[in-house]
Amino acid sequence: MKKVVIIGISVLVVVLIVLQLMRPKFAESEFQKGKALLDSARYEEAIVKFDKAIWYKKSPIYFNFKGLANSGLGKDSIAVIDFNKAIELSSTVAEYYLNRGVSYRKLKKYDISLQDINKAIELNDKYAKAYYNRGLLMASQMNFDEAVKDYNKSIELDGSNLEAYYSRGESRSNLNDFMGAISDYDKMIEGANATADAYKKRGTFKLNIQDFSGAESDLSKASEMDKNDKEIFYNLGQAKFNLNKYDETIDVLNKAIKIDNRYSVAYGLKGGALLKKGDFKAAIKEFNKAIELHSTYPKAYYGRGVAKALSQDYKGSIVDFTTTISLDKDFAQAYYNRAVSKAILGQHKEALPDYDFIISKDSKYAEAYFNRGISKMNVKDNEGGCADFKMAVELGYKPAEPMLKMYCGGKK
């Protein structure tokens, strides 16, 4: 009987020893299954596998990957605990600090995030991904200059990360470096990342440098790839408007409005296109809709004011130009057009301050000098009127020449 018991205990010991020896293998098997699930964004299932791997073996790598899975689920507070454990077990691995720093950034704990990412770079100053993520951190705090420096370093170390070009393009655009932003999106699009968003962004940057044909091309491609993005159609409308393609402008803006019938700027730009076509009644209707949806939209009031003036409703235009100025005190053209409407109504004295303003903003505005000269003549300021006619002539405004000859003896 004792012999049987002894044999049984021996077998058990052997089994336990074998199991103990096999633990690392079991751990690695579960870990690899977890990695495959993580790559497929099946985060919850991945965490189950990582927990099993950790049960077999408390490896910092396993905790690190479990942290990535929790971060993928948006559970960054829990992810930080996982990364803490990884760092506790192995404190000299740059990746663990970087991953914790990324989670802290997502939790908006920017100071701690920066400390971790800096630590990652201290441990590995060739770590492209760390520079890239520090760039994201800088950009999230509107520090675009520093963000660009970090993206530059990341790209220098690893030019294959197209997301770095995308992010650098975003930061460059925020610094009004649209040419630089376009070159970054060129790289993305050439690198098989020709998404609707990439074309949309590059097209928008081209609008900013007044490359309207280039913008039209990019935004047309974006609209073919994504038919539900109202901003793509609106921006395409801007490109076509600036290319004097007013019917096409109206067509693409109608598509934007179909996506969102409360899209005020689309109504405003559509009104502008109708205005250019000379359909003042229809233009006013679109501006009315834009104002109904957005009561503090200065360009809509301005456009409606122009449409009213061209319809000879000068009193109505003055009201709209005045509202425009109340919403945007530096809207120079509103002052000019209000002055013109006042002058047409015989309100020359009231028109003068508006002309003064526009000329203070643009000392080379020849037509403004000419019209101010007319208003000065009408309030008996002949000397001032002649001085304005003379300035208009010097600036090359031909209609001022007969006025100068007729009222000022042709003196130049």
Token pair 């989670």 is at which residue? 103
Structural domains in the chain plus CATH codes: 10-109 (1.25.40.10), 349-412 (1.25.40.10)
Looking at the predicted structure, is the pLDDT value of residue 21 above 90? no
pLDDT value at residue 16: 47
Of the listed ranges 8-22, 156-170, 184-198, 299-313, the least confidently predicted one is 8-22
Output the six-digit token pair for 324: 């425009």
pLDDT value at residue 26: 82
Altogether, the residues listed in the chain come to a count of 412
Looking at the predicted structure, is the pLDDT value of residue 339 above 60? yes
- 46/31 Cα distance (integer angstroms): 9
How far lies 341's CA from each of 67, 279, 297, 322, 352, in Å? 67, 20, 21, 11, 12
* Percent of the residues in the chain that have a pLDDT greater than 90, as a whole number: 88
Q: What is the mean pLDDT of the chain?
A: 93
- Region 191-199: what's the mean pLDDT? 84
Looking at the predicted structure, is the pLDDT value of residue 298 above 70? yes
pLDDT value at residue 193: 66
pLDDT value at residue 5: 47
pLDDT value at residue 20: 59
Handedness of CA 34, 35, 38, 39 (dihedral sign): negative
Residue whose C-alpha is closest to residue 103's, from 116, 85, 86, 120: 116
Q: The pTM is what?
A: 0.83
Looking at the predicted structure, is the pLDDT value of residue 2 above 80? no
Output the six-digit token pair for 361: 């903003």
Looking at the predicted structure, is the pLDDT value of residue 170 above 80? yes
Residues 397-406 pLDDT 10s: 999 999 999 9
pLDDT value at residue 194: 83
How far lies 167's CA from each of 203, 205, 355, in Å? 16, 14, 45
- Region 211-234: what's the mean pLDDT? 97
52-83 in b/e form (b: 16+ CB < 10 A) is bbbebbebbbbbbbbbbbbbbeebbebbbbbb
